Amino acid sequence: MKVAPTHPPPGTLPAPLRFVSPTEVLGHGRRLVYFGGCDYHRLSFHPRVRAAARAVLARDGPGVAASRLTTGNHPLYEELEAWLARFLHLPRVVLVNCGYASNLVAAQALAGEVTHAWLDARAHASLRDAAQFLGCPVAGFGHRDPADLRRQLARLPRGARPVVLTDGLFAHDGSLAPLAEYLAALPRRGWLVVDDAHGLGVLGEHGRGTLEACGVADPRVILCGTLSKAFGAFGGLVAGERQLLERVVARSRAFGASTPPPLPAVAAALAAGRLIAGDAVLRTRLRANAVVVRGAARAAGWPVPEPDTPILAVEPKSATAVTRWRQRLLRAGICPPLIRYPGGPRDGYFRFALSSAHRPEELARLITVLER
Nearest residue to 90 via CA among 244, 202, 235: 244
Domain co-membership, 246 together with 307: no
Say what the pLDDT of residue 344 is: 64
Both 92 and 164 in one domain: the answer is: yes
- 3-state DSSP call for residue 73? coil
Least confident of 8-22, 132-146, 237-251: 8-22
Residue 181 lies in a domain: yes
- For 281, the 3-state DSSP assignment is helix
Q: Is 175 helix (H, G, I), strand (E, B) or coil?
A: coil
**Which CATH number goes with the domain that contains 301?**
3.90.1150.10
Q: Could you tell me if 267 and 56 are in contact, meaning their C-beta atoms sit under 8 angstroms apart? A: yes
Query: Among 38, 39, 28, which residue's Cα sits nearest to residue 336?
Result: 28
Q: What is the pLDDT of residue 342?
A: 62
Domain end residue (candidates: 229, 251, 278): 278
At residue 133, φ and ψ (nearest 5 deg) are -90, -5
Provide CB contacts within 8 A for 282, sequence distance 6+: 41, 207, 275, 276, 356
Q: What phi, psi does 342 have (nearest 5°)?
A: -55, 125
Residue 3 domain-assigned (yes or no): no
> What is the residue-wise DSSP string for 107-164?
HHHHTTT-SEEEEETT--HHHHHHHTTS-S-EEEE-TT-HHHHHHHHTTPPTT--EEE
Element (H, E) at 193: strand 191-195
Same domain, 112 and 254: yes
Angle at 364 between CA 363 and CA 365, to 5 degrees: 90
Kindly report the CATH number assigned to the domain that includes residue 63: 3.40.640.10
Q: Give the pairing type, strands 311-314 and 236-240.
A: unpaired
HSE-CB for 116 with a 13 A CA cutoff:
20
Q: Which residue has the higher pLDDT, 343 or 173?
A: 173
Q: Is residue 286 within a helix (H) or strand (E), and if so which, with residue range?
A: helix 280-299
76 lies in the same domain as 198: yes
Please indicate, yes or no, whether residues 156 and 272 belong to a single structural domain of this protein. yes
Domain count, the chain: 2
pLDDT tens for 331-361 read 999 999 998 866 566 778 899 999 999 999 9
Asked whether residue 271 is domain-assigned, the answer is yes
How much is the average pLDDT of 298-321? 92
Percentage above 90 pLDDT, the chain: 89
**Structural domain contains residue 41:** no
In a domain, 301, yes or no: yes
Is 260 in the same domain as 316? no
- 178-233, pLDDT tens digit by residue? 999 999 999 999 999 999 999 999 999 999 999 999 999 999 999 999 999 999 99
Among left, alpha and beta (phi > 0; psi -120 to 50; other), residue 338 is beta
**pLDDT at 70 > cutoff 50:** yes
Domain assignment present for 10? no
CA dist 167 and 146 (Å) reads 14
Which of 243, 278, 313 represents a domain boundary (last residue)?
278
Last residue of a domain, one of 278, 294, 311: 278
- Residue 355 and residue 254 share a domain: no
Q: What is the pLDDT of residues 32-58, one digit of tens each?
A: 999 999 999 999 999 999 999 999 999
Residue 8 counted as domain residue: no
Q: What is the pLDDT of residue 365?
A: 97
Do 243 and 295 belong together in one domain? no
Question: pTM of this prediction?
Answer: 0.95
120 vs 133: CA distance, rounded Å: 17
Q: What's the confidence (pLDDT) of residue 3?
A: 47
Same domain, 320 and 181: no
Q: Establish if 12 belongs to a structural domain.
A: no
- Predicted local confidence at residue 368, as pLDDT: 96
**Residue-level pLDDT at 12:** 83
Show the domain range for 287: 18-34+280-371
Mean pLDDT of 88-99: 98
- Above 90 in pLDDT, residue 312? yes
CB atoms near residue 105 (< 10 Å): 28
Residue 291: strand, helix, or coil: helix
Is the pLDDT score of 5 beyond 60? no
Amino acid at 20: V
Say yes or no to pLDDT of 6 above 80: no
CA distance 329 to 47: 31
| Cβ contact 213:200 at 8 Å | no
> Do residues 270 and 359 share a domain?
no
Mean pLDDT check: name the lowest of 6-15, 32-41, 80-89, 257-266: 6-15
Same structural domain for residues 28 and 73? no
Q: What is the pLDDT of residue 110?
A: 97
Confidence of residue 363 (pLDDT cuts 50, 70, 90): very high
Domain match, 221 and 352 both: no
Mean residue pLDDT of the chain comes to 94
